[in-house]
Amino acid sequence: MDSGTVLHALNLAYELATLALTTLGLAIVFGLLGVMNMAHGEFVMMGAYAAVTVQQWGLPLITAVPLAVVVCGGLGYAVERWLIRPLYARPFDTLLATWALAMLLRKLVEAIFGRGYRNVESALTQPTLVLGSPYPVYRLALIVFTLAVMAGLFFWYRQSAAGLRVRAMTANPILAQALGIPTRRLASQAFVIGVVLAGLSGVLLAPLIRIEPGIGVDYLLDAFFVLVVGGLGTLGGLFGGVGIIGGAQAITSSIAGQTSGYAVVLMISIVFLWLKPDGLFSRR
Amino acid sequence: MAFFRDAKPAAALAAVLAGLPWASNDFTAYQIALFLVYGMAAQGVALCWGRLGFLSLGHALFFGLGAYLSGGVLRAASNEALWYLLLPLAIAAPALLAYLIARVVFARSTRSGPYFSLITLALTMLGFLAAQQWSGLTGGFNGMADIPELPGTSRYETLYWVIAACAVGSTLALSLLVARPIGVVWEAIAQNEDRLQLLGYATDRIKAMAFAGSALLTSLAGALFAAHQGIVTPQAMGFVLSTELVIWAAVGGKASALGPLLGATIVGYASAELREQLPYWEAAVATLFIGVVLFLPDGVAGLMRRGQAPRRASAGQAKPVRRPFAPAASLALAEVQTGQAGVRILDGLSLGLQGPGIRCIIGPNGAGKTSMFNLITGRLPLRGGNIRLNGHDIGGQPAWRVARQGIGRKMQVPSVFPALSVRENLGLALWAGRAHGTDLLCLATLGWQTPLLTDILGQFQALSEHLDNPAGNLAQGHRQALELAMTLLPEPGIVLLDEPCAGLSPAETHHMIQAIQSLVLRIGAAALLIEHDMSAVDALGGEVYVLHQGRLLEQGPLAQIQASPAVRAIYAGGRK
Amino acid sequence: MSLTFTNIVCGYGDTLVVRGVSGQVQAGRALAIVGRNGVGKSTLLKGLAGLLPLAQGQLIWGGRDITGSALHTRVAQGMAYTPQDNVVFAELSVAENLWLHLNDRDADRYTELFEQFPLLARRQSQRSGSLSGGERKLLAFTRTLGLRPKLALLDEPTEGVQPENIDRMAHLIRQRKRTGVSFIIVEQNLEFVSAFADDVIVLDHGEQVLQGALADLGRERIERHLVV
């Protein structure tokens, strides 16, 4: 097989995998719970900085995982309790408050770590041969890992009532309570899980990206566009959105450059926001 | 005089800005001028957000467009003076774009919600990308440089006075507009857009006009920016600046004309100075913003304001109502079908009425009574059959268009504008269908009266007593009375009243029924009343329609209905 | 277990709708709350279920004072409430509506109910929002009985339901009563109510104008407060 094609295919898979991982957390918080968390990207960023931190302390990369869980989880709990919950009935204010939170987190990280780029080393960045072409092992591992996570999610979502309950209670909180579902506790749990997943995706991506405080915005916007186009609250929406947004961006970028790729994503999203804000695979 | 009262903030601003160069120096004035420019752009954001209730997260798009276009014109004009004539167009073009965007987006859905904000955000990012890529036009990443000064001004000295004058002017214009009827309409949109549509206001157009106006102000600010800085980079169009505009508007006060200027000059200027010195400064600003969103929705200006003086004007006679046809005398529904989310609600309903008078609609829960009203007033889609008003087909028209043709609707749960005063609520109903052209810009319109209004206030003492109180503070019974008044003031030919006596005590019910009878008679309308209280139905007399499972079961005088076995069956259970 | 409610006063915001209603339901008995539209029947039931806070009054269930307890804790205590509107999760399928709140998949819960209402068994994968109003009420009723509550609070369960199914609902309620389940039902359909109710409270303008055993009061007298 032509090595150029293999490389293209692998890179496409890598882009889609990254997009899927970083969107997953928002798919729960926005897709299921209905909260427009504009600080989503910052949780991804903090996960990456967790990796930076453990490296500074001379610890193996894997220890960034519990660190990210604790930091994102604790912060997520506090945010849900004191920022999101009071503003539940006011979607605009939720949007603004979480945006302000995003700025706050960004500036705090800037103040602590400085604005410069950081890098995280990993032993797995050596290339290996895939169908005759060299490709970094870590990226390969990421693609495989993401496929496994998505497959696992697919089967789990079918079996477990948890995601269903969150979606149901967002649509009809009174009925949910009348059936014994503890809506407040569930909302808190869902939010915390969502931001922890965002943080973990940051940890996973850390060895592959340039880390600096401002990377959150791009992840946030991409995740939003994926969900708007794909549809909220369904796994099919997540996959579909990743495919369309990720695919469109990758293909356009390879033809006309990075900027055009992004412009195409913006245009597709604007059209969907305008004409079909529920997305393609929403169950409304 | 009202003008001087409304002009106070602008006057105060003028005094401060006039004294500034004397109190400090020319260079400080030059720096402050930049934040005055940003402040004007923020005033544009605050207009839509603080008044009308929809937030633009990408307003810098218009700022940047105004800056680039004006910059380009000024550069071309340094060679050929004729180009100066294009300067007003350069400032107005972004406003036209804004109008088109808003019309297109709001036509799809009247929800101004967060999706509109995301669209503006995406648009500004597209603008940013375009500014970077099309370097032939914009100078690309490095920007459009060497922009000459505005003719007749010098950048570091006299340009300050031009900017200060514009800032005072914009503050004055905003204060004046807000104090006039159009300001009431804007606030009404933010509070209860549906109700406003039911009165006949084309809210999507009003919002689009306001958005265009705000874009015009922001674009003007952009033009001044170009003249002030001499260079325009893509940052002027980006989402970082858009975010800052929102923060300055929020912290300074989005519901005040002066607030955004305060926000921009205080927060913006302080940030520029302190950003380097205090590493946690920007984190502090973000925290301040969170605090403002949570606890201080009206910003700093909200703290300072001691409460707006109530809008008032001397009493004057209102203009007559303008309508396409004479007051409607007939309404006919033929085999209409409607539904929502796959559920059939009305299933071949046929009902007709002709001539003035009051008729009642009764029927068990789920029969489709309110849905029938929703269908007539355009809130449910017409899936089959047709609706004719005076012989004209009105099926499928948007709510405001139906209202303008002479159909008034009172909602099941009293729907008023809670934060506006009772007087303003009544005013909105009065202006519907009467105010045209520049009437909404005139103070005199605030004082419009009609004999019907005087009659209504006479019948409902409570309304006269509470004229200057917020409508949201009224008790349930009084809110019913207010909504009834608002439904009748435009003098529609068809009046749809949905449970006007809900939640009223027996005495209040009696009073309400008498008032409805006398007022409907006075305007010569044909009224349809949904009621459950049979004593009220009895007192009203007139034809009674019984609805059941989305169809008309029977119609006739109350005695006939009460004797009918079919009707007894559906109320007390049992088979037909 | 019995439910006793005393001097219930509740409403929305500053508008008081229910003004001092008292009553009691013993195990295996059914109480019907009837009255014209707008008198406060639904509001009273919401107050009893814990959906609305009580401005005044007391609620005792099985000897315990549960006056302030939150709605979602009541299911564990054996109380099941079905609202009047939005009775199902419209986005979800029939099957999901029947199972999502339960922690086990004990098929026995619904066997008998599916026999009575085969249409629900047939349409398990149908999106419940596309069912008719009456079919949704049937789904809600089935779901409530499937919870195996000790006390079921139902708000107009027969609205829009076909007559044959109304009969079956009455039959199921009678059957459950024999096993000790109590019911408080808000209804406008007196025919349905007469098939199983032991006691009746008639409301008018938020107040109790008539109460007692159905047998003692007689349908005539009650109907006078209701009908056209």
B358, B514 contact by CB (below 8 A): no
Report residue A283's pLDDT band, with 50, 70 and 90 as the boundaries: low
B315 pLDDT more than 60: yes
pLDDT of amino acid C2: 92
Residue B112 has a pLDDT of 54
Model pLDDT, residue A284: 47
- For chain B, what's the residue count? 576
Winning range, highest mean pLDDT, from B26-30, B193-197, B444-448: B193-197
Residue among C101, C122, C67 at smallest CA distance from A172: C101
d(CA A34, CA A84) in angstroms, rounded, equals: 11
pLDDT given at position B328: 59
Q: What number is the average pLDDT over the span B110-116?
A: 72
The tokens 């008639």 sit on which residue? Answer: C202
**Chains linked to C by 3 or more Cβ pairs within 8 Å:** A, B
Structure tokens at B296: 């201080």
* Per-position DSSP letters for C203-225, written without gaps between them: EETTEEEEEEEHHHH-HHHHHHT
Report yes or no: A171 at the C interface, CB cutoff 8 Å: yes
A178 to chain C, closest Cα gap in Å: 6
Query: Taking CA atoms, what residue in C is nearest to B535?
Result: C228
Q: How far apart are CA B63 and CA B85, in angstroms?
A: 20
Q: Kindly state the helix (H) or strand (E) to which residue A130 belongs, with its residue range.
A: strand A127-130
pLDDT at residue C94, rounded to an integer: 93
Average pLDDT score over chain B: 87
Contact assignment for B243 to A99 by CB distance below 8 Å: yes
User: What's the complex ipTM?
Assistant: 0.91
Residue C209 distance to chain A (closest CA, Å): 29
Average model confidence (pLDDT) across chain A? 89
Q: Are B191 and B419 in contact (CB under 8 A)?
A: yes
pLDDT at residue A22, as a whole number: 94
Q: Report the pLDDT averaged over residues B155-170.
A: 91
CB contact under 8 A, A108 and B133: no
> Which domains, from first to last, does chain C contain?
3-85+152-224 (3.40.50.300)
Element (H, E) at B497: strand B494-498
Cβ atoms of residues B456 and B526 within 8 Å: no
Where helices occur in C25-125 by DSSP H, the ranges are 41-49, 94-99, 108-116, 118-122
Cross-chain Cβ contact C87/A179 below 8 Å: no
Asked if B572's CB is within 8 angstroms of C190's CB, the reply is yes
Q: Calculate mean pLDDT across residues B95-122.
A: 86
**Domain ranges across chain A:** 3-217
CB contact under 8 A, A178 and C82: yes
- Mean pLDDT computed over A46-66: 92
Kindly state the average pLDDT of the residues C10-38.
Answer: 88
The pLDDT value given to residue C227: 59
pLDDT per residue as tens digits for the range C201-214: 999 888 888 889 98
Q: pLDDT of B295-304, one tens digit each?
A: 888 888 877 7
Cα dist from B93 to B57, B90, B149, B218, C85, whole Å: 20, 6, 21, 12, 50
Chain C hits for B364, CB-CB cut-off 8 Å, are 159, 188
Which chains, if any, share at least 3 CB pairs under 8 A with chain B?
Answer: A, C
Confidence of residue A1 (pLDDT cuts 50, 70, 90): low
Would you place residue A141 in the very low, low, confident or very high pLDDT band (cuts 50, 70, 90)? Answer: confident
Closest CA of chain A from B18, distance in Å? 35
Mean pLDDT across the stretch A242-256?
90
Query: What residues does each domain of chain B span?
Result: 2-304, 357-381+398-534+561-572
* Stretch B479-494: mean pLDDT: 93
**Would you state the pLDDT for residue B126?**
93
Residues of C in contact with B343 (CB under 8 A): 129-133
Of residues C166 and C38, more confidence is placed in C166
**Residue B330 pLDDT > 70:** yes
- Full-model pTM: 0.86
**Is C200:C217 a contact under the CB 8 Å cutoff?**
yes
Mean pLDDT over B338-342 rounds to 73
* Residue C172 near residue C6, CB atoms below 8 Å: no
Q: Do C51 and A174 touch (CB under 8 A)?
A: yes
DSSP for C145-181? HHT--SEEEEESTTTT--HHHHHHHHHHHHHHHHTT-
Note whether A183 contacts C: Cβ–Cβ < 8 A: yes
Find the closest chain B residue to A93 by CA distance: B293
B576 pLDDT band, cuts 50/70/90, is very low
What residues in A contact B239, CB-CB < 8 Å? 217
Give the residue with greater pLDDT, A44 vs B558: A44
Residues A95, B117: C-beta atoms closer than 8 Å: yes
- Cβ distance B532 to C37 less than 8 Å, yes or no, reads yes
On whether any CB of chain A is under 8 Å from the CB of C72, the answer is: yes
Please answer yes or no on whether A86 and B294 come within 8 Å at the CB atom. yes
pLDDT at site C183: 96
Q: Which of B191-195, B344-348, B351-355, C46-50 has the weakest average pLDDT?
A: B344-348
- The model's confidence at residue A66, banded by pLDDT at 50, 70 and 90, is very high
**Is residue B366 very low, low, confident or very high in pLDDT (cuts 50, 70, 90)?**
low
Q: How confident is the model at residue A175 (pLDDT cuts 50, 70, 90)?
A: very high
Query: What is the third-level CATH fold of B357-381+398-534+561-572?
Result: Rossmann fold (3.40.50)
| Amino acid B380: pLDDT | 86
User: Rounded mean pLDDT of chain C?
Assistant: 89
Predicted pLDDT at A119: 87
Question: Which pLDDT score, from 0 to 100, does residue B271 have?
Answer: 83
Q: Burial of C223 by CB count in 10 Å (0-12 exposed, 13-18 middle, 19+ buried)?
A: middle
Query: How many angstroms separate the CA of residue A111 from the nearest CA in chain B?
Result: 6
Query: What is the pLDDT averaged over residues B206-212?
Result: 95
pLDDT of residue B326: 58
**Buried b / exposed e across B340-374, counting CB within 10 Å, b at 16+?**
eeeebbbbebebebeebbbbbbbbbebbbbbbbbb
Per-residue pLDDT for B575 more than 60?
Answer: no
The answer to whether C88 contacts chain A (CB < 8 Å) is yes
The answer to whether the CB atoms of B562 and C228 lie below 8 A apart is yes
Q: Tell me: pLDDT of A179 over 90.
A: yes
